[in-house]
Structures are given as C-alpha cells and as structure tokens.
C-alpha cells in the first residue's frame, strides 16, 4: 500500500459550533475506519484544516466525497505526498475556537482577518496542523 498524506484547507459556509463538529465526527468515524484512514480535522468557526492519511485510493475517494459537502467551500489542496509513516496514527478531531491564537504566530500566515490557512506553504503545513492538534479542544462523541 502506498501511504498517502493529503492536507487541505476550506472555508466554512457558516460558523460551526462544537456540536456541529460532533456531527461530522459521528459520520466520519465508521467510514474512515472502514477505509483505513487516520488523520486530523481541525475546525475553527471560520475554517477547516484536515489531514487524511491512508492508502492512495482511499484517501482520494474520501477527499472527493468531502469536497462535495456544502458545509464548506474553497476546498484547497495544500499538500499531497507519499509518506513513510503516519503523522496521525489514529483518527482525531479538534475544535479551535480561535485559530489566530492557536496557530503558529508567523506573520506570513495572517491577514487582516487573522490566521489564514491558505497562506501556509505546502512544506510547512504539516508542522502547522501538528501544532493546532496540540492546541485544540478534543472533540469526542457524547455517550
């Protein structure tokens, strides 16, 4: 299996609450598990930044599915590589109420409305998503 890592950014159609993100988690868990996909989804009220890791075919299939979701737009591929190990060995999701404080403070990645994930360079976006993962609230399904 060619392990593939895909990272994209998108703009949410409407601000999402943590409860909205829990709904995505409920829908994602089974499908990602069936496809052997792990990764990390970081959602803020304005943007999503997601890393998908797994077999090439599965990652592409899931990405094409997610792109069509009307809850977000301007889905932009930031990185697509063959990887030798998973950065995220389990499927995880985090909610970041304020990306501007949680994201690394590089002026290059900020514009007038704060942190803008579309500005992150392809070879640095893995570091950014790992930092966001450490600084986000974990989203868990309520029992």
Q: How far is the CB of 54 from ligand FMN (least distance, A)?
A: 10
Residue 66 Cβ vs ligand FMN, minimum distance, rounded to whole Å: 5
Assess contact for 51 and 59: CB atoms under 8 A: no
Residue (73 or 81) nearer to ligand FMN, CB: 73
Contacts of 30 (CB under 8 A, 6+ apart): none
Burial of residue 100 (CB within 10 Å: 0-12, 13-18, 19+) is middle
Residue 27 vs 81, nearer CB to ligand FMN: 27
What residues between 58 and 97 interact with ligand FMN by CB under 6 A? 62, 65-66, 69, 71-72
For 55, residues 6+ apart whose C-beta sits below 8 A from its C-beta are: 1, 2, 3, 4, 35, 36
Position among 22, 31, 56, 83 found at the interface with ligand FMN (CB under 6 A) = 31
Residue choice 50, 96, 116, 136 for contact with ligand FMN (CB under 6 A): 50
Binding residues (CB under 6 A) for ligand FMN: these are 10, 24, 27-28, 31-32, 41, 48, 50, 62, 65-66, 69, 71-72
């Amino acid at each position: 299996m060619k392990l593939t890592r895909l990272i994209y950014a998108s703009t949410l159609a409407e601000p999402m609450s943590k409860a909205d993100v829990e709904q995505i988690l409920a829908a994602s868990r089974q499908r990602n598990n069936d496809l052997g996909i792990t990764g990390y989804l970081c959602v803020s009220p304005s943007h999503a930044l997601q890393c998908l890791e797994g077999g090439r075919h599965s990652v592409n299939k899931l990405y094409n599915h997610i792109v069509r979701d009307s809850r977000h737009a301007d889905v932009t591929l930031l990185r697509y590589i063959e990887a030798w190990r998973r950065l995220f060995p389990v499927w995880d999701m985090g909610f970041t109420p304020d990306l501007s404080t949680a994201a690394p403070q590089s002026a290059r990645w900020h514009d007038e409305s704060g942190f803008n994930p579309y500005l992150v360079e392809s070879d640095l976006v893995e570091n950014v998503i790992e930092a966001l993962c450490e600084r986000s609230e974990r989203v868990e399904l309520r029992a």
